[in-house]
Structure 1
Amino acid sequence: MTGLSAQIAADILARVRQARPRVHCLMNTVVQKFTADGITVIGGLPSMTGSLEEVESFVARADALTVNLGTLDAERRAAIRLGVAVARAQGKPWIVDPVHCDYSPSRLAFAQELIALRPTVVRGNRAEMALIGETPGILRIVTGPVDRLQVGHSCVEIANGHPFMAQVTGTGCLSGGVIAAFLAAEPDALAAAGSALAVTGVAAELAASRAQGPGTFAPLFLDALAAVGEADILPLARIHHDQHDLIGRR
């Protein structure tokens, strides 16, 4: 794909809704329902089990896997390793969100173990990604008021979103699930992830225009994700290409 645009984002969203991809989430337990709801309303089919007896079977049936380190214990680490092994063996796209790897050396070590297995996408905030370091050949997403996506010499910034997103627990985890759904529908990781972030950002802006605060924003965000389409994305998506690059930084 030569470049990401609002039209491409709208087209990939339409393909997600048609394909109904299955997304397995090894996810922060605090936000499982919100994430599952977000994947569902955008057009995907979520599954959330972290059971050691089931995770391999669920990942085998999924079209994409999202791994989030938000709530991490020994059993969840084991489940993640099992799920990732299946995704890799079957060539499924998978995403790692190294949540709070800047808080704990053991969490950082586990995140680095996973990244060494070459996920499709690594996504974190500025502090997390600074510790993760370079990810050659892997799509790297640094989240913030403007999300920055980089792979090789290609870089795209998505400027959509709203401050209410930072005041509702789980909006980042939800967007990770949406990215996974888009990865299942589009093999170009930069186009898929950039489109997912543009769509969720536009939906957030639409929801915030009707919300009275973060408490009313959360359900309105789900409503907006369910309804958002080309008529919203084309005028509102703010996608910026940056080629200034990485060649000069070698």
Structure 2
Amino acid sequence: MNAETSSLTSDRIAETLEVLRRVTPRIHCITNAVAQSFTANVLLALGAVPSMTIAPEEVAGFASSADALLINLGTLDETRRVAIPNALGAAQDAKRPIVLDPVFVNRSEIRCAFARDLLTERPTLLRANREEMTALFPSREPFKALGDTATILAMTGAEDQIGASGRTIRLGNGNPLLARVTATGCAGGAVMAAFLAVEPDPVIAAAIGVSVFNIAGEIAAERASGPGSLVPALLDALYMLDGQDVSKRLNIIEQREGARA
């Protein structure tokens, strides 16, 4: 992969967004009960297709036939606890990208231990905030903790950082109003899964997902009068997002190349 194709640019984001809308990948989401409806609507607005079943007896078929899998631990009930390994194994066998979003592992050692077990299966992407990363890797810097494993890390916050194998992309898009609506972070993980389904470089795919969602969030926040009007504005912004919006707003703080995917 040459230097040009391994870099994040506004043109590359716009081109990949066009590919996603043309391909309409199906993303299977095992997500929390609070986030299910919003996540499905975000994927549809983006141009992807959601499937959401958590039934243990059928989830493997859904995961293996989808184009990517999202595992979100926001409500880790017994049904999801059984369904998640079934879906993860099926997605791995089918060589589908997998996003793990270990929501609130910093609040529950039981959940944290479950997430660590899932990490041994080397999902494509681990998406978490600083507190969740610290809980998973209490004595190590998160971007060093997984060493040379294939898992990409995306640490979200006021500044988003994506990296693996010496590669780092730091991004500064977003708006604080997004944090005033439940499930925006969870839906952002699904957006990242959607781009992993159509972009072969997982670091770039993750960065595109973060950028697209947060740029749409900026646009929505400018149009909204508060959290209640942010949700429809965000769905509209994702649906209407184009290359001009991306070029105007993309905020790359740093992009450092290392070993490439």
TM over 0.5: yes
Equivalent residue, structure 2, for 1:241? 254
Equivalent residue, structure 2, for 1:227? 240
Q: How does 1:28-107 map to 2 (within 5 A)?
A: 28-107=32-111
| Distance in 2 separating the partners of 1:14 and 1:241 | 25
Question: Is 1:124 paired with 2:137?
Answer: no
What is the letter of the counterpart of residue 60 of structure 1?
Answer: S
Equivalent residue, structure 2, for 1:157? 170
RMSD of equivalent CA atoms: 1.4
CA contact (8 A) 1:66 1:176 kept: yes
| Distance in 2 separating the partners of 1:117 and 1:152 | 18
Equivalent residue, structure 2, for 1:166? 179
Equivalent residue, structure 2, for 1:135? 146
Equivalent residue, structure 2, for 1:180? 193
CA contact (8 A) 2:72 2:100 kept: yes
CA contact (8 A) 1:68 1:173 kept: yes
Deviation at 1:237? 0.8
Deviation at 1:57? 1.2
Structure 2 unaligned regions, length at least 5: 138-144
| Distance in 1 separating the partners of 2:15 and 2:32 | 30
175, 192, 203: which one aligns with 1:190? 203
State the TM-score, normalized to the length of structure 2: 0.91
Q: Which has the higher contact order (CA 8 A, sep 6+)?
A: 1
How many percent of aligned residue pairs carry the same amino acid? 39
SS at match of 1:30: coil
| Distance in 2 separating the partners of 1:242 and 1:206 | 24
What is the letter of the counterpart of residue 127 of structure 2?
Answer: R
| Distance in 1 separating the partners of 2:50 and 2:256 | 35
Equivalent residue, structure 1, for 2:213? 200
CA contact (8 A) 2:67 2:197 kept: yes
Q: Structure 1 residues 33-42 or 129-138, which shifts more?
A: 129-138
Structure 1 unaligned regions, length at least 5: none
Deviation at 1:244? 9.5
SS at match of 2:35: helix
Equivalent residue, structure 2, for 1:113? 117
Q: Structure 1 residues 96-105 or 231-240, which shifts more?
A: 231-240
SS at match of 2:182: coil
SS at match of 1:185: coil
| Distance in 2 separating the partners of 1:125 and 1:36 | 22
Runs of 4+ in 1 over 6 A off after TM superposition: none
Listed one character per residue, the Cα deviations across residues 72-125 of structure 1 (whole Å, up to 9, x for unaligned) are 022211100000000111110000000000111110000001111000000101
Equivalent residue, structure 1, for 2:140? none
Deviation at 1:245? 8.7
| Distance in 1 separating the partners of 2:53 and 2:146 | 28
Deviation at 1:139? 0.7
Listed one character per residue, the Cα deviations across residues 219-239 of structure 1 (whole Å, up to 9, x for unaligned) are 100110000010100111112
CA contact (8 A) 1:23 1:62 kept: yes
What is the letter of the counterpart of residue 162 of structure 2?
Answer: L
SS at match of 1:241: strand
Question: Is 1:13 paired with 2:24?
Answer: no
What is the letter of the counterpart of residue 160 of structure 2?
Answer: D
CA contact (8 A) 1:6 1:239 kept: no
- CA distance change for structure 1 residues 113 and 31 in 2, over 3 Å: closer, same or farther? same
State the TM-score, normalized to the length of structure 1: 0.95
SS at match of 1:124: strand
